[in-house]
Chains A and B, each alone.
Chain A
Amino acid sequence: DAKTTQPPSMDCAEGRAANLPCNHSTISGNEYVYWYRQIHSQGPQYIIHGLKNNETNEMASLIITEDRKSSTLILPHATLRDTAVYYCIVRVGGINTGTASKLTFGTGTRLQVTL
């Protein structure tokens, strides 16, 4: 699976959009971009994933550049409860590939949301 690079930490004011970048310049054509977050002392939580189109769900939006070498996770209105470590992961994905979803975690971005 391709390696990712994320800034170690970011701050965001409550109510503002949080934009978390991720570089994955060696991503392969069949690799998806996944985002998870981990609140202190809990298990990671799935946020969103995508292949090449931008994606949006109730939690966040994922913007993937046209060359797929980088992406941005957007939390449109950050709250204090969004304070967590955010992990960007690339892996071979998609439904029914027949392989276990092994995830390779880096150290992620620690997002601190402040009043």
Chain B
Amino acid sequence: DGGITQSPKYLFRKEGQNVTLSCEQNLNHDAMYWYRQDPGQGLRLIYYSQIVNDFQKGDIAEGYSVSREKKESFPLTVTSAQKNPTAFYLCASSGRDHRVHFGNGTRLTVT
């Protein structure tokens, strides 16, 4: 069954620690994305990648880093420089028809 897998669903970290969120897709999509969602808000784009070994900053990239070493994988690292890391993080991918497919998210809590 094709789709996007984000793990874990819930993640807890102490302030000052870096944390990496996993995103894997088996849809053979070239483009992948990371969005952040805060309560009652829409999604905001953090980073996106159009192809392996290439990625661009989105609207709120500060305090985050990504890598795209494989087509299937686009991990997001939330660094200690991110001032408000607690949020719902959504990974997505898209192919030639430009329909964006989303995972079911990771809810990160930093205390």
Contact = CB atoms under 8 A, between A and B. Distances in A.
Contacts of A107: 40-42
Interface string B86-105: 00101010101111111111
B96 A102 contact: no
Q: Is the interface of B mostly helix, strand, loop or mixed?
A: strand
B98 A43 contact: no
A43 B96 contact: no
A6 to B, nearest CB: 10
For chain B, which range describes its interface: under 10, 10 to 19, 20 to 34, or 35 or more residues?
20 to 34
Nearest to B48: A100
Interface residues on A, range: 20 to 34
Contacts of B88: 41
A106 B42 contact: yes
A42 B45 contact: no
B65 to A, nearest CB: 18
Nearest to A97: B98
